[in-house]
């Protein structure tokens, strides 16, 4: 894609945002790789080195060794602890301040949309949020910072301090259904929007990947910003093969120019 094509597509996307009443963003791992968070499913990602079958919900709740692997290999490190929102996250938050954001539907668990300034009630987290942990027995909640402190002190399998129950990050694991209320709300927002913008998702994980289809079926325009192809490319009115941060920054700047902010 040459610079003129990129400029034209950026301009077209900005026009769509300005002229839309309900703009929904659908974000995947590709929006957060620029914050230093690896895409687990990409070549060289963690699921090429580890067997996803060892990290299912069923194994987590039934085998101590599975819980130890989970905490030590996935959460005992510093993989996402120091990650900060990047320009793409901030650009979406700026669109909210301009009154041009209905909601963000995200497959990510990194909390970066909220950190960037998108109100929590406008962030629909299909796969949960890694910043909190719950006891599966008594329901007590902990922050991930509390659990990380215990891991750093040498605990390998943290358990509930109240009842000794199993502690689980508030994320959706393999073999676990998406949260019904969140999926229902995301489906409704997708069907009611007039513009859905996908950023950094291959749209290959279902049922989340149905959401852009719902939007298109209801008459919404679809924009895709992703470095690799997706099954929905042919449905997009704008297809940008570009990095999320610089692309969204440019789009939001053009929106600000058009609305006079």
168-190 pLDDT per residue, tens: 999 999 899 999 999 999 999 99
- Shared-domain flag, residues 261 and 205: yes
Domain end (from 171, 198, 223): 171
- Shared-domain flag, residues 32 and 43: no
When mean pLDDT is compared across 50-64, 141-155, 202-216, the lowest value belongs to 50-64
Residues 6+ apart with CB under 8 A from 52: 174
CA atoms within 13 A on the CB side of 95: 32
d(C-alpha 196, C-alpha 221), whole Å = 6
- Shared-domain flag, residues 197 and 261: yes
pLDDT of residue 81: 62
d(C-alpha 257, C-alpha 261), whole Å = 6
pLDDT of residue 230: 95
Q: Do residues 201 and 107 lie in contact, with contact meaning Cβ atoms separated by under 8 Å?
A: yes
Q: How far apart are the first and last CA of the chain?
A: 29
Instruction: Examine the pLDDT at 261 and tell me if it is beyond 80.
Output: no
Residues 6+ apart with CB under 8 A from 189: 22, 24, 102, 103, 105, 124
Q: What are the E-state strand segments in the chain? A: 23-27, 103-106, 123-125, 128-135, 141-143, 167-171, 195-199, 221-225, 238-240
Confidence of residue 83 (pLDDT cuts 50, 70, 90): confident
Pairing of strands 221-225, 23-27: unpaired
Closest CA to 128 of 150, 104, 111, 147: 111
- Shared-domain flag, residues 33 and 145: no
Task: Tell me the residue range of the domain where 58 lies.
Answer: 39-79+129-171
- For 131-153, how does the pLDDT look when each residue is reduced to its tens digit (9 = 90+)? 999 999 999 999 999 999 999 89
Is 127 designated active site?
Answer: yes
Instruction: Examine the pLDDT at 73 and tell me if it is beyond 90.
Output: no
- Report whether the peptide linkage leading into residue 84 is cis, meaning its omega lies within 30 degrees of zero: no
Catalytic one of 70, 89, 113, 127: 127
Total count of domains within the chain: 2
Closest CA to 128 of 60, 78, 174, 64: 174
- Shared-domain flag, residues 183 and 244: yes
Other CB atoms within 10 Å distance of the CB of residue 68: 13
- Shared-domain flag, residues 137 and 234: no
The residue assigned the tokens 């090429």 is: 48
- Shared-domain flag, residues 233 and 193: yes
- Token pair in block for residue 99: 């009154």
Span 93-100, average pLDDT: 98
Span 237-260, average pLDDT: 95
Other CB atoms within 10 Å distance of the CB of residue 9: 22
Q: Do residues 92 and 112 lie in contact, with contact meaning Cβ atoms separated by under 8 Å?
A: no
d(C-alpha 252, C-alpha 257), whole Å = 9
Other CB atoms within 10 Å distance of the CB of residue 191: 16
Closest CA to 148 of 79, 56, 216, 239: 79
- Shared-domain flag, residues 116 and 45: no
- Shared-domain flag, residues 184 and 71: no
DSSP 168-209: EEEEPPBT-PPPHHHHHHHHHHHHH-SEEEEES--S-STTTT
- Shared-domain flag, residues 183 and 233: yes
Span 30-58, average pLDDT: 75
- Shared-domain flag, residues 28 and 101: yes
Single pTM value for the model = 0.92
Residues facing residue 106 across a β-bridge: 27, 125
CATH number of the domain to which 60 belongs: 3.30.1600.10
């Amino acid at each position: 894609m040459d610079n003129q094509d990129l400029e034209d597509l950026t301009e077209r996307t900005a026009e769509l945002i300005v002229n839309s009443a309900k703009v929904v963003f659908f974000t995947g791992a590709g929006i957060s790789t620029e914050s230093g968070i690896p895409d687990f499913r990409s070549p060289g990602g963690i699921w090429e080195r580890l067997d996803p079958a060892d990290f299912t919900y069923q194994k987590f709740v039934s085998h101590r060794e599975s819980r130890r692997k989970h905490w030590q290999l996935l959460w005992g490190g510093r993989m996402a602890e120091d990650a900060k929102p990047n320009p793409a996250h901030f650009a979406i938050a700026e669109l909210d301040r301009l009154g041009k954001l209905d909601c963000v539907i995200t497959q990510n668990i990194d909390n970066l949309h909220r950190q960037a300034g998108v109100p929590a009630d406008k962030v629909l987290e299909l796969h949960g949020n890694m910043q909190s942990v719950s006891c599966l027995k008594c329901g007590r909640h902990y922050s991930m910072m509390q659990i990380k402190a215990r891991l750093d002190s040498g605990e390998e399998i943290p358990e509930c301090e109240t009842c000794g129950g199993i502690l689980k990050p508030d994320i959706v694991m393999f073999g676990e259904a998406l949260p019904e209320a969140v999926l229902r709300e995301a489906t409704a927002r997708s069907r009611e929007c007039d513009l859905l913008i996908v950023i950094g998702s291959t749209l290959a994980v279902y049922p989340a990947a149905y959401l852009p289809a719902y939007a298109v079926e209801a008459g919404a325009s679809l924009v895709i910003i992703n470095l690799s192809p997706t099954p929905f490319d042919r449905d997009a009115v704008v297809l940008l093969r570009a990095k999320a941060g610089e692309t969204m920054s440019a789009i939001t700047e053009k929106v600000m120019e058009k609305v006079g902010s």
